[in-house]
A and B are shown apart, each in its own frame.
Chain A
Amino acid sequence: MNRLEPLRKVVDDALDKMDGVIALRKTSGLVAPYLFRDKEELDELTISPKYPTPAILRLIQTAHPEAKLGIVCRGCEERGLIEMAKRNQIDLERIRVIGLACTAEEAEECRCAKPYPSVLIDTHVGVRTEPVVNKLTEELRQKDMAERLEFWRSQFDKCIKCYGCRNACPQCFCPECTLENDLWVDAGKVPPPFPTFYLIRAMHTAGKCVGCRECELACPAHIPLTTLYTLIREEVGEMFGYEPGVDLEAQPPLVLPMEVES
């Protein structure tokens, strides 16, 4: 089913009420996020490949807090927005979310547990498809310690320390990044010594990572980062009963004190 024409129409409608809509634009064969403000530009609107638009929304909203913006969101991007809103990075009051459901192929490629938005959206384009079971994480669970270590070591040895995973991540918004601190990650060493860089990032995104796979897509060395983060997400879910990006009300567990019976 074609999603582009309906989406174009929805964005067209949204532009009547909003100052601009963040979506992807294709010019001269290249796709990049773009703030659509003029209806005539909508011919260049496109859908794929996906791009971390929530991070772009945060930048624009920080610079123009009064602007009313629309954003075209896939399931993962909506989850990202929810987690960002909980940490006061974006203002949900001033945005309008246009939902875009992923096709079955896209969901399969991302091993996505929820390939459609459903919480914040006003309008919805596309057909909702079934969640995909992540087989890679299950495979890794079956391995023993030495095999896991071997697997991750061979993966992380490919790292060129480009910080692409961090830069693409909608959940990485600290003004000062621990990964740039010489105290924790040795400067000038490529690949960064195992396990610091990767496990620090894994720890910092625990309880925040929504599994959007942007880090993996951004990685020039094709390190399957989402696999590690999915395992951690499941672990956090088991431990605290918290799943990032699902519920607007649920509070992130790692930043709150515990509930202890006294």
Chain B
Amino acid sequence: MYEPKIVAYACTYCSYPGADLAGTSRIKYSPNVNIIRVLCSGRVSPELILRTFREGADGVLVLGCHFGDCHFINGNHRTAKRIPVLKGILEFSGIEPERLRLEWVSASEGERFAHLVDEFTETIRQLPSIKQVIR
């Protein structure tokens, strides 16, 4: 069994404090995840996600604010539209769409963040390493 590498893009205003809360609450979650803070989930462009895969991430989590909570009002709307399309593209070209997931995590959902990361890590563990897919 291999240890998957997971990159989570968390937005500064909701998801990153959410991850922070998981840490300060001493909730254990999968150590496979590497969190990268971005200003908004809408900033996570498709090319950034594709490059993350190319650099060796087995899974990419995009975490943003719930609808209505976005600091930039509708930044997460763009993410919500973009990610499903990118997942479709990944599926058509033969890369498992499960490797990419979009979730909303608010600043108070530390437990949810930990649960999500654990669950996502298990999903990715079932898939082959990205190095076998993208050579």
Please report the total number of A residues contacting B with Cβ < 8 Å: 38
Of B46, B51, B94, B133, which one neighbours A203 at CB under 8 angstroms? B46
Interface majority SS (helix, strand, loop, mixed), chain B: helix
The reply to whether B93 and A149 form a contact with Cβ atoms under 8 Å apart is yes
A136-188 at interface with B (beta carbon < 8 Å): 140, 145-153, 178, 183-184
B35 to chain A, nearest CB (A): 21
Whole-angstrom distance between the alpha carbons of A207 and B82 in the complex?
A: 11
Complex contacts, B54 vs chain A, CB 8 Å? 193, 195-196
Most buried by A among B77, B80, B88, B134: B88
Of A146, A202, A232, A235, which one neighbours B94 at CB under 8 angstroms? A146
**Interface segment, A6-14, A56-64, A99-107, A250-258?**
A250-258
Complex contacts, B53 vs chain A, CB 8 Å? 195
Complex contacts, B95 vs chain A, CB 8 Å? 145, 149, 195
Asked if B85 is at the interface of the complex by the 8 Å CB criterion, the answer is yes
Complex contacts, B68 vs chain A, CB 8 Å? 260, 262
Complex contacts, A183 vs chain B, CB 8 Å? 47, 51
The reply to whether A195 and B50 form a contact with Cβ atoms under 8 Å apart is yes
B11-40 at interface with A (beta carbon < 8 Å): none
The reply to whether B84 and A239 form a contact with Cβ atoms under 8 Å apart is yes
Complex contacts, A239 vs chain B, CB 8 Å? 81, 84-85, 88
B64-115 at interface with A (beta carbon < 8 Å): 67-68, 74, 77-78, 80-82, 84-86, 88-96
Contact flag A151-B47 (CB < 8 Å), given A206-B89, A239-B85: no
Complex contacts, B74 vs chain A, CB 8 Å? 257-258
Whole-angstrom distance between the alpha carbons of A204 and B45 in the complex?
A: 10
The reply to whether B94 and A145 form a contact with Cβ atoms under 8 Å apart is yes
The reply to whether A254 and B82 form a contact with Cβ atoms under 8 Å apart is yes
Whole-angstrom distance between the alpha carbons of A194 and B74 in the complex?
A: 32
A211 to chain B, nearest CB (A): 15
Contact flag A199-B51 (CB < 8 Å), given A239-B85, A253-B81, A257-B74: no
Asked if A120 is at the interface of the complex by the 8 Å CB criterion, the answer is no
Contact flag A196-B85 (CB < 8 Å), given A146-B94, A151-B94, A260-B67: no
B130 to chain A, nearest CB (A): 11
A195 to chain B, nearest CB (A): 6
Asked if A42 is at the interface of the complex by the 8 Å CB criterion, the answer is no
Complex contacts, B89 vs chain A, CB 8 Å? 199, 202-203, 206, 228, 232
Further pairs besides A232-B89, A260-B68: 19, Cβ < 8 Å: A140-B92, A145-B94, A146-B94, A149-B95, A193-B54, A194-B135, A195-B53, A195-B95, A196-B54, A198-B93, A199-B46, A199-B50, A199-B89, A202-B93, A203-B47, A228-B92, A236-B85, A258-B67, A262-B68
| 6 intermolecular pairs with C-beta atoms under 8 Å apart | A150-B94, A178-B47, A194-B134, A204-B46, A231-B92, A258-B67
